[in-house]
Amino acid sequence: MVRVCLGCYVVSELVFVDALLLRAAVSRPHLAVSPDFVGRCACLLVQTYLQAWQLVVSPLGRVVGGLQRRYGAAGSVAVLPRLPPDDRRLHDDVCAVCLTPMDVDRSRVTPCGHAFHAKCLELSLRVSRACPICRRRLLNTAAMH
């Protein structure tokens, strides 16, 4: 995050230089039509855009992606239905992630019909967005963004 803040500072300085050039163009219109001045302005604007992308947008995207991987799974698991109290899996089955018996309070059923403890499924979805048993995609990438 420090890197993103430092990038914001650098980009703000570049924008300030761009603003100074535009101010010079407005105060001295005869300079604005000079090919040298136009070329310099174009180079600085392109540099500002590229630096903003490299120093701010790209690292910020990685930070947001990491937060989505970390906390997106918890929200997705919370909305999954629980196992009904009369489901046979509560008595005969174990969680495929931790291999402990299923219980009503902690269980969740995936859209593909597999049952897991909510915490186990959340941990699994942080690593892979697919069902731990059948590998059916559970978290849609578009829904996470």
* pLDDT tens, position by position, 10-49: 778 878 887 887 787 778 777 667 788 778 778 888 888 8
Tell me the pLDDT band of 128, cut-offs 50, 70 and 90.
confident
Is residue 78 in a domain? no
| Residue-number span of the structural domain to which 126 is assigned | 89-144
Is-contact 109 131, C-beta < 8 A?
A: no
Is-contact 83 104, C-beta < 8 A?
A: yes
Is residue 82 in a domain? no
3-class state of residue 135 by DSSP: coil
Q: Domain holding 109: CATH number?
A: 3.30.40.10
- C-alpha Rg value of the chain to the nearest Å: 27
Does the pLDDT of residue 134 top 90, yes or no?
yes
The average pLDDT across 128-142 equals: 79
The Cα 143–Cα 134 span in angstroms is 21
Do 7 and 64 fall into the same domain? yes
Q: How many domains does the chain have?
A: 2
Which of 21, 43, 72 is the last residue in one of the domains? 72
Q: What is the pLDDT of residue 120?
A: 92
3-class state of residue 18 by DSSP: helix
User: Which tokens belong to 27?
Assistant: 């105060």
73 Ramachandran zone, left/alpha/beta (phi>0; psi -120 to 50): alpha
- Measure Cα distances from 140 to 19, 72, 76, 92, 145 in Å: 42, 11, 10, 31, 9
Is residue 130 in a domain? yes
* pLDDT tens, position by position, 82-104: 888 888 877 778 898 999 998 88
